[in-house]
A = this chain, B = another copy of it.
Amino acid sequence: MTFIRNRWYVAAWDGEVGAAPLGRKICDENIVLYRKLDGTVVALRDACPHRLLPLSMGIREGDALRCRYHGLKIGADGTPDEMPLRNDPINKKVCVPVYPVTERHRFIWVWIGDAEKADVELVPDLWPCSAEGWTFDGGYTHVKCDYRLFVDNLMDLTHETYVHSTSIGQIELMESPLETRVEGDRVILSRWMPDVEPPPFWRTFLGKEGRVNRWQICEFIEPCSVIIDVGVSPVDAGDTLESHDSGVRGFVIDSMTPETETSCHYFWGMARNFATNDHGVTLRMKDQQNIVFGEDVEVLEAQQRSIAENPDMRLRVFNIDAGGAHARRVIERLMADG
């Protein structure tokens, strides 16, 4: 197994789940998701307990799903509301696993592991996706690679020079020194650039002239998210690496939910605290991210295939891989704990 049990995983964007059932495999488990009439989300094993037809092929009736094969009607609690022959006594032992599910930070999260251990306080803290004064949007991409290859990728910004040479690579700030630190299960890569000229993009949104402090801070949040804090603030505001809310700030949000050992669901987006009502900015950022992340996906899928093709070779860790290596150690330790 390559993923941590007893964790919340992003199963979908909030807008992906509605009245119609959505089937998605999470950590090797087939799950069906849908919203009840009250708007809350249900997550069940995606197989009718009768003859195993996917419930995601079923018919929504009230808060239940009726299997499209023989009509066993499964309620949101995973047990039958009605047997195939409507007058038959209901056998509550005929049921499917129910997955704890919650909605937070624009995502639908499912708990993979022992249901009784689920606690919504344990949802990874992707606060910029839902905080007051911030806006957040993004997209979804299915990727045929182990999610840990994606964590490696995001916990290192060196690759931008080559993978993203035609989009965002070759940025001079890649030259600045980077610090890596581990705080419990968090891994943080930070680059603080004091007293620099702001690049055009940030100057526009900052809305004032003068030199700035600038930062890029990648953080691995177990089990499988990476968020990247980026922005600038005026030098005279006195911001620090620890506290920097005086200017304009954004977060690149990445959550890579394992689908199988060698594939993942990639949820990506951008949160920002500036121009929050400008939908045009939102669309342009989403559009650019789609291109940039497409470049990563091409490389990651080729890397996954090459790992399979060269079983005598192993991944090496250079200094630039420190972030990913720390993140993998956290994952391994937490898998062993589970």
Contact = CB atoms under 8 A, between A and B. Distances in A.
Contacts of A69: 159, 162-163, 299, 303
Interface in A57-112: 57, 59, 66-71, 83-85, 88, 94
B47 A94 contact: no
A318 B49 contact: no
Q: Most chain-B Cβ atoms within 10 A of its Cβ — which of A46, A51, A71, A161?
A: A51
13 contacts: A50-B315, A51-B315, A52-B307, A52-B315, A53-B302, A53-B303, A54-B302, A57-B299, A59-B162, A70-B156, A70-B162, A70-B320, A85-B319
Contacts of A94: 316
B88 A310 contact: no
A306 B52 contact: yes
**Could you say which interface size class chain A belongs to?**
35 or more
B158 A70 contact: yes
Contacts of A278: none
A222 interface: no
Contact of A320 (B25, B85, B158): B85
B299 A68 contact: yes
A318 B50 contact: yes
Contacts of A302: 53-54, 57
A53 B315 CA distance: 10
A57 to B, nearest CB: 6
B162 A303 contact: no
How many of these chains are in the complex? Answer: 3
Nearest to A309: B30
A318 B53 CA distance: 15
A146 interface: no
A132 to B, nearest CB: 39
Contact of A67 (B45, B162, B313): B162
A68 B152 CA distance: 15
Interface in A110-148: none
Nearest to A94: B316
Given A68-B163, A313-B47, A53 B156 contact: no
Most buried by B among A85, A306, A307, A316: A306
Interface string A229-273: 000000000000000000000000000000000000000000000
Contacts of A313: 45, 47, 49, 52
Contacts of A320: 70, 84-85
A94 B314 CA distance: 11
B309 A71 contact: no
Contacts of A25: 309
Q: Shortest 7 CB-CB distances between A and B: which pairs?
A: A52-B306, A47-B310, A71-B162, A68-B162, A53-B303, A47-B306, A70-B159
A48 B50 CA distance: 46
Contact of A306 (B30, B83, B88, B161): B30
